Amino acid sequence: MAHSKRNTSRPIFTSHERAMARAAWGSSTARLTRDSFLPFASCWLCLEPSIDPVACAQGDIFCRECALSNILAQKKEIRRAEKAREQEEREAREEKARQDAEAQERAIREFELTQAGLSITRTGSTSSTGREKPEPLGREGQGDDGANGRDNGPKAGEKRKFSLDPDEVARIAEEERAKARKAIDDEKASKPTLPSFWSPSVTPSSNSNNTLHEVKKKVKTQPVCPASAEDKPHYYSLHTLITINFTEETDSSSNKPQRICPACKKALSNSSRATLAKPCGHVLCKSCVDQFMKPSGGEPVRCYVCEADLTEKKESSKKEGKEKIRPGLVELRREGTGFSAGGSNQVKKDSVTFRC
């Protein structure tokens, strides 16, 4: 009786099976079409045409409402993370103080037992009286080198002066606490434990070695622009948002307002490489900026619309007060056009490589 074969019963891969494996495993790339790109001046948060548009210092466009909501949400998260970090540090200090107090109490108890002449029984070690007996001196310390011993030691009839070294006392106390801490850890490790998730006293924890967790350092202190790349993030705030002043004109064919360049009167799109003037917020296409706003000689750069001074100034090392918008020109970030030279038009997905 003949049986149908599955695609795993053959010793080789067919072209169809190889195509299925390539689609499910390994890196795959896809070329985006024009329909996959956002139109010009779209918000990077809501992905809709921007309303009351603003831009960060790097040229990322947002709706004013979206930008303010995102900044407030990030600030709230930063405050929450800061409180959590302070709580972790406080708990770490309390846990360390508790362990030190426990070790000191253990060392005092062992000292009292030793002074009383009782034996100290520790788990995993033999019982001892606490203090080790000094080894007797050999002939080298009593025989031929007696003269040297007399020279180095105190003379007959002379009392030795007692000297207290604070560093030595602190070192000995630290060693005693470490020994007591090790004894406590050995006793806890020798006791049978039942990892029961329903009992709070013996609930399993990731802190299995009974060591303090490493407190994470503070990483983000101010809001990060959501449109920035992961490897090169940049910050933005309420004081550095630039209000964009587009020049609008009604389109004769669609009777809808469209954003145009105030110099050449052409509609701005992803292919026009629009440039934003800071801090006035007027937008011109790249060709008009090169033609009308390019400085000649030592003259300052001025806006084509309002003639505001756009000359970039050197950033001072001393920051006084709140951060301000620095004058200059920045190219607005845009999506691709669908052509090979018109922006990023390819996406890539990395996954585990399939090997047959």
Q: Which residue has the higher pLDDT, 161 or 173?
A: 173
Tokens of 180: 């007591």
Cβ 106 vs Cβ 178: under 8 Å: no
- The beta-carbon contacts of 11-17 under 8 Å, at least 24 apart in sequence, are 13/356
Residue 221: pLDDT band (50, 70, 90) is confident
Cβ 52 vs Cβ 64: under 8 Å: yes
DSSP label at residue 219: -
What gap in Å lies between CA 49 and CA 52, rounded to an integer? 10
- In the predicted structure, residue 242 carries a pLDDT above the cut 90: yes
What gap in Å lies between CA 261 and CA 286, rounded to an integer? 10
Backbone angles phi, psi at 210, to 5 degrees: 55, 35
Expressed in angstroms, the distance from the first to the final Cα of the chain is: 30
% residues pLDDT > 70 (the chain): 69
- In the predicted structure, residue 37 carries a pLDDT above the cut 90: no
Contacts of 159 (CB under 8 A, 6+ apart): none
What gap in Å lies between CA 246 and CA 159, rounded to an integer? 96
Which range, of 36-50, 84-98, 125-139, averages the lowest pLDDT?
A: 125-139
For 84-103, give the DSSP string.
HHHHHHHHHHHHHHHHHHHH
Q: Which residue has the higher pLDDT, 345 or 131?
A: 345
Q: Hey, where are the domains in the chain?
A: 32-60+225-315+322-344, 69-128+168-222
Cβ 54 vs Cβ 242: under 8 Å: yes
pTM, two decimal places: 0.64
Average pLDDT rounded to a whole number, residues 254-259: 86
Cβ 260 vs Cβ 268: under 8 Å: yes
